[in-house]
Amino acid sequence: MKTLSQNTTSSACAPETGLQQLVATIVPDEQRISFWPQHFGLIPQWVTLEPRVFGWMDRLCEDYCGGIWNLYTLNNGGAFMAPEPDDDDDETWVLFNVMNGNRAEMSPEAAGIAACLMTYSHHACRTECYAMTVHYYRLRDYALQHPECSAIMRIID
């Protein structure tokens, strides 16, 4: 099991000290089938979330052409997905948001976080579902502690 921990003191976007350090844990293959209904099952139209994340990535990243995605849970109750990285630790993705004119280079995980935040925000507005808004803020809290916080925020601004 892969666990990613973000150090809140190393990020320029880190929230106030004393807040819970958020940890992302990869979902094992045998639990992938229950991921969406378990975390989003009470949200209207939840079955559209995964393809909408793919759609956002396609809009944000010119070079995106599909692939395998990892699913993650957060210790604050949040959940997200991100493209599986290549074996190259220095892999970067270039994202451009035509709605705000911002461009940023980031890791596959950060790109997935940005695509999920865009999806969650739009889905919360579309469905007017408070639970979806809660999911957005749980992931945003993790993004604020992420080493690539500035790049993520530039894309979702």
**Mean pLDDT confidence for 47-63:** 97
What is the per-residue pLDDT across 16-30, written as a single tens digit (0 to 9) for each?
A: 556 789 999 999 999
Distance CA 105, CA 91 (A): 10
Would you kindly state where each structural domain of the chain is located, as residue ranges? Answer: 3-29+36-156
Instruction: Determine the Cα–Cα distance for residues 68 and 82; give it in Å rounded to an integer.
Output: 9
| The predicted structure's pLDDT at residue 15 | 54
Report residue 53 as tokens. 């994340």
Cα–chain center distance at 44: 20
Percent of the chain past pLDDT 90, that is, above it, reads: 83
Q: Does domain 3-29+36-156 have CATH number 3.40.50.150?
A: no
